[in-house]
Amino acid sequence: MTEGIAAIQARVAVLQSQFAQITPRSGVSSAQQFATRLTTEQQKAAAAGTTSTSPSAPAAGASGTSGTASTSATTGTTGTNGTTGTTGTTATEKAHEHSKVLGGGDRITATMKKVIDDVDAKFGPFPTIGAWRADGGMPGSDHPTGKAADFMITTGGRMPSSAKLKEGWEVANYVKDNAGKLGIKYIIFAQHIWSPARADEGWRLMEDRGSVTQNHFDHVHISVEK
């Protein structure tokens, strides 16, 4: 069993190294393939009982929801950024300016505004946050009703680096772990979707929609119930 886990971990490390070496000349498709393979290998590692930054089993403290010395530390005793308890304001929250929100204000719901403020305070600043827009891009989108926001990890349709993908998963898993408090409907990131209604299935792989942005590799999409 130990040897099997070690083999999986070694495979994850190889894929992470390969992903970090992807250049713009490699093309979007090859980058997406590496990202998808990396996610798959990390899920295998999680299933084998190891900790990782995978969608189904984030490393302890990586999403900032538990542990006694996590990086964003919203619970526990004392985080590395100086938070004590569950309601304190972190040094990180005080340090950065608010991200630019496109389609915010009275065009989004109170719940969506609360989520934007919460996530931006803990993980921002983001290149941009896109909330309300008249055209949601697909039938049933929550953007036109002010109940969705896209937290951009990269811009210009570029595939994020392995480090940026890790940051994206930290955001996605934080929101997942606090879904009840935040009023979450569903979350999409890196071609995976999670929803409270199907929480027992974990992060579910989605169909390939064709591009980095359509497959949500460059942003974390968050929809709220109301």
CA dihedral (30, 18, 12, 168) positive or negative: negative
Q: How far apart are CA 135 and CA 14, in angstroms?
A: 41
Quick check: 98 and 125 in contact, CB under 8 A? Answer: yes
Quick check: 81 and 91 in contact, CB under 8 A? Answer: yes
pLDDT-derived band at 4, boundaries 50, 70, 90: low
Quick check: 167 and 123 in contact, CB under 8 A? Answer: yes
SS3 percent helix, strand, coil of the chain, rounded to 5, is 40, 10, 50
Q: pTM for the full model?
A: 0.63
Q: pLDDT tens-digit profile of 128-177?
A: 999 999 987 788 899 999 999 999 999 999 999 999 999 999 999 999 99
Q: pLDDT tens-digit profile of 83-136?
A: 334 444 444 445 678 999 999 999 999 999 999 999 999 999 999 999 999 987
The whole-number pLDDT of residue 97 equals: 87
Amino acid at site 103: G
Amino acid at site 18: Q
Range of weakest confidence among 20-29, 143-152, 177-186: 20-29
The whole-number pLDDT of residue 96 equals: 76
Q: 């899920």: which residue's tokens? A: 43
The whole-number pLDDT of residue 225 equals: 97
Mean pLDDT over all residues of the chain?
Answer: 76
